[in-house]
Amino acid sequence: MKKGDIILCAAVCIVAAIFALIFFALKKDGKTVLVKIDNKIVDEYPLDTDRKIVLEHNTAVIENSKVQMIESDCKNQICVNTGKISKRGECIVCLPNKVILEIR
């Protein structure tokens, strides 16, 4: 690699890092979590109230203005391993059970 190639790569990396920081810094905290089952809205809960949400195949918990899927009867457990979410637009999806938790 030549000196110009290294400079170009560094510049692209710096610009990408700046855009990533701006994107994540501008994401706002959500106010509610929307629960959808089979793409139908089932309920909506405020994030400022701690509670346990028990669904037919899944269980979620709202704590400290964050929501997390803590239990599911699906095989792969991806929804449980997603972790906590709290920013607008973030989702937890359980495909086998067709459950979506979406922050609004």
Print pLDDT tens along the chain (104 aa). 789 899 999 999 999 999 988 877 778 889 999 999 999 999 999 999 999 999 999 999 999 999 999 999 999 999 999 999 999 989 999 999 999 999 99
Q: Is 18 in a helix, a strand, or coil?
A: helix
0.95 surpassed by pTM: no
Distance CA 64, CA 31 (A): 12
Instruction: For strands 40-46 and 32-37, give the pairing.
Output: antiparallel
The single-letter DSSP state of residue 47 is T
Find all residues with CB under 8 Å of 69, minimum gap 6, and list them.
58, 59, 60, 79, 80, 82, 92, 94, 101
pLDDT value at residue 73:
96
